Structure 1
Amino acid sequence: MTAVGKQIREAILATGPISIAQYMQLSLTSPVGGYYTHGQVFGRTGDFVTSPEISQMFGEIMAIWYILHWEMMGRPTKTRFVELGPGRGTLMDDMLRAAKRFPQFFATIQGVEFVERSPELRRVQMEKLGCPKESMESVKDKNEPDTPGSAVSERYGGISVRWHTQLEEVSVESDCVPMVMAHEFFDALPIYKFEKGTSGWSEVLVDVDDSTTTPAPPQTTSARLAGSPHSSASDNSSECHFKFVRSRSVTSNAAVILRDPRFDSRFDKGDHVEVSAESARVMAVLADWVSQNNGLALIVDYGQDWTQGDTFRGIRKHKFANPLSQPGSMDLTADVDFSYLRLAAQGKAKCFGPVEQGKFLLDMGIQARLKQLLQATTDKKVQQDLVDCYKRLTDPNSMGRIYKVLAVLPNGAQGMPIPFAPPSKEELNRPKVEKIVRK
């Protein structure tokens, strides 16, 4: 059993079955071996590939979106990039590199703020942005002497790079426009899972499993593996020490999280729902923060514009894995409920979308950028790779449909951001809930 697995087992034996949210939190961020403390979890040598790791075009298009809206805001003299969950720093590196081609905009960038808990990933991000180690100031924690707190990027003209553990710690000048990016951030936040019964909602919990039977991993789809040549098989090689159980009565989590009447009116007996209370909290903070600082934000993630019930899964080495097997050794994730994010932001900021990633990228001109890159090389293999990456990002059967883009603007913002548009009659009439018929 992994070190995190032992920690989880001890917690369950001490207090009883735990929520999926607590299980995810320990598995991903525990200091005794949580998944995101590993650092090298992204890319082809890691467990999954994100859009920025697929192609530079993704980050370049995102940079163009911010530059266009900077123009629409009247070219403010000070801006600052803020990224939640920056991974290896690839997306920000591509965005800054693209921004350098627009000198007037680039000159306004006062610095970069990363919201990142992992000490290892902070070091990877520092290197990615070309920050020499001698420019680094460590966090003021004697237990983490080599964890970056701030640094200076030589690659990008000496702009400052600062790290924070949560968005509330980020401060910007009153005359500085923050430009926020949250790419594949919300999908890793903890979820709770509930099942509706005859007497109300019970909670699906995680308990110790001392049996010798190893359950198969759930048969589900994953946007992180969409279009991946490695995604055809499941990893069922590890012993499983935990199992799902249902609470015997309504838990405090169910009573608080599902108090919105829509959960009773929209779901029937036997239905499951996954709800991320932490996502709602972070979204409320983000919406408030964007409005107070007159900023703007993009949220890019996989999910739907409605509540789903069975998307929790594990991913290891580009294969599906049982999420209850070997905690700490795999990514744990669930689809984002964009309707829940919009509800959390209501009254605090204006939300636009979500729109499908493929449509967003096409409307923003990714085809023109692909053409430029194809013309810049005569290498047939490089050209084919560029086309393959373009298809993977935009194809509805790959990442183009399941990934969505949501824009967040201040309450006082006028007009609609590019390339968002009011929903069509067809979109308004489209059902917002998809249910799986259980046999």
Structure 2
Amino acid sequence: MAGRRARWCPIGEPPLQQRCPFSARSDGPGAAAGVAKEELGPLGKHIRDIILATGPISVAKYMQLALTSPIGGYYTRGQAFGREGDFVTSPEISQMFGEIMAVWFRLHWEMLGRPARTALVELGPGRGTLMDDMLRAARRFPEFFASIRGVHLVERSPELRRVQHDRLGCDAQQTKIVADQNAPERSVSVARGGIPIHWYDMLDAVDPDSDCVPLVIAHEFFDALPVHKFEKGTDGLWHELLVDVAESSNNRAVVLRPPGTQPQQQQQPESCHFKLVRTRSVSASAALLLRDKRFDVQFDKGDMVEVSPESARVMAQLADWISRRNGLGLIIDYGQDWTQGDTFRGIKNHRFANPLVSPGSMDLTADVDFSYLRFAARGKAACHGPIEQGAFLHAMGIQARLQQLLQATSDSKTQKDLVDCYRRLTDPLSMGRVYKMLAVLPGSSAVVPVPFAPPTGADLNKPKVEKIVR
């Protein structure tokens, strides 16, 4: 899965529920009479044809197609990141972020007993900025840097692989290309001390030397893994929300309309080719994913939940791998430590957008349920956290690093930019609170990672299924 980058919004914006122009109950904005439909691209036509042939598809299937389809999925473009793209990530904001990550891994390399052979693994490396900053900072610790025998990047997008290849200063003459994709498969980073670089489509394919200890980082990876959406109906049962073509009148689902509207209002022309519908009966996904009784007793009729079985699968695999190899992992993403219900949205040009408009033209994302990740790792690895990004960065010394950078320049504009970047990363009203850190250690490890507090309850890996009253 290609890396998804920071869905950050400026300081002072209202909560997401007030910002997002799309509601899961709505067929989307622009439903007024006379509004022309969007132009449907090749991917949109492909999704429409699938629905017309087989019926409405899950939100998870829609996300997977819109983001990674070779026909025109969003991440096949590769130019989504940064100010010129649709969103900005923490590593793209400041070098301080990647430097702090390198320091964290170096510190815990010491706590793991200074293993002689390690492998850096990144899930969703974006433009390669985070890994490049980490390798640059790691060279300040010669013994730690000497232990790194390879960098392994999990990246599907051929375009992003090429960007990462250039950012990491790889030698083109030593690069092996995947011929049918014109994308690198392995190379050597001349700019970073000759470290071998490897690319993979999936985590399953990563296989560093058996005696290498994996040091894994996943920055904004889980937020774009597909989610299923469910709503508790008036019958008290969970019904799945599916994506249908706007012109469809299939009898297997009920069209969702904005709260407070009358059915006749839905006869107006729509600008979007797709809409959300609700299954009339309990779907197989609902029966499988919502088996826990807490979903029945803690939610009322009309409540929604989002569940990502793909996140659980990847997390379980990652936890097992880390435990078997005595490794270490750090997951950084935005979300909460409980199950949420209505966070699926699109992001385009640094703004929230209707995710059903022009599939492939925008990033699609949903908040991460950290309790679900911990639950998936139970019995395999020990999870610590999550803690807020601002608290993590402060505990790891970002203020001291900021002072060093300020003292290294006398340019007032550069100094102001440094302070602005620091605030953006740590301020609770910006990225400091919504982004969280989750550490993953072997299940047998007694180490409590810095700066995570020792576990105090018996529910360390117990999922939280809560209804949040607003």
TM-score by length of 2: 0.84
The correspondence for 1:205, drawn from 242, 246, 255, is 242
Matched letter for residue 349 of structure 2: K
| 1:135 partnered with 2:174 | yes
Percent identity, aligned pairs only, is: 68
SS state of the match for residue 163, structure 1? strand
Matched letter for residue 252 of structure 1: A
| 1:177 partnered with 2:209 | no
State the partner residue of 2:437: 405
Moved over 6 A (4+): 215-218
Instruction: Give the stretch that moved more between structures: 128-137 or 297-306.
Output: 128-137
The correspondence for 1:153, drawn from 150, 167, 189, is 189
8 A Cα contact 1:38 1:120, kept in partner: yes
8 A Cα contact 1:239 1:326, kept in partner: no
State the partner residue of 2:145: 106
How far did residue 415 of structure 1 move? 2.4
Q: How far, CA to CA, are the matches of 1:114 and 1:149 in structure 2?
A: 10
Q: Which runs of no fewer than 5 residues in structure 2 stay unpaired?
A: 1-39, 249-255, 260-269
State the partner residue of 2:74: 35
How far did residue 217 of structure 1 move? 12
| 1:435 partnered with 2:440 | no
Q: How far, CA to CA, are the matches of 2:393 and 2:258 in structure 1?
A: 33
State the partner residue of 1:189: 225
The correspondence for 2:304, drawn from 247, 272, 283, is 272
8 A Cα contact 1:28 1:332, kept in partner: yes
Aligned residues: 409
TM-score by length of 1: 0.90
8 A Cα contact 1:35 1:329, kept in partner: yes
Q: Deviations over 1:49-77 (max 9, x none)?
A: 01000000000000000000011122111
Kindly report which structure 2 residues correspond to 1:215-230, keeping only aligned pairs within 5 A, or say none: none
How far did residue 80 of structure 1 move? 0.9
State the partner residue of 1:312: 344
CA RMSD of aligned residues (A): 2.0
Matched letter for residue 199 of structure 2: W
Q: How far, CA to CA, are the matches of 1:386 and 1:261 in structure 2?
A: 49
Q: How far, CA to CA, are the matches of 1:435 and 1:182 in structure 2?
A: 27
| 1:360 partnered with 2:392 | yes
State the partner residue of 1:228: none
How far did residue 319 of structure 1 move? 1.2
- Cα distance change on mapping 1:45 and 1:216 into 2, 3 Å: farther
How far did residue 423 of structure 1 move? 6.0
How far did residue 286 of structure 1 move? 0.5
State the partner residue of 1:322: 354
Q: Deviations over 1:224-276 (max 9, x none)?
A: xxxxxxxxxxxxxx941100110010001111111122222221111100000
SS state of the match for residue 125, structure 2? coil
State the partner residue of 1:231: none
8 A Cα contact 1:216 1:322, kept in partner: no
Q: How far, CA to CA, are the matches of 1:101 and 1:82 in structure 2?
A: 20
Q: How far, CA to CA, are the matches of 1:108 and 1:400 in structure 2?
A: 32
How far did residue 156 of structure 1 move? 1.0
Q: Which runs of no fewer than 5 residues in structure 1 stay unpaired?
A: 219-237
- Cα distance change on mapping 1:187 and 1:38 into 2, 3 Å: same
State the partner residue of 1:225: none
Say which structure, 1 or 2, has more relative contact order (CA 8 Å, 6+ apart).
2
| 1:384 partnered with 2:416 | yes
SS state of the match for residue 107, structure 1? helix
Matched letter for residue 433 of structure 1: E
Matched letter for residue 341 of structure 2: G
Matched letter for residue 196 of structure 2: S
SS state of the match for residue 286, structure 2? helix
8 A Cα contact 2:294 2:465, kept in partner: no
Instruction: Give the stretch that moved more between structures: 98-107 or 326-335.
Output: 98-107
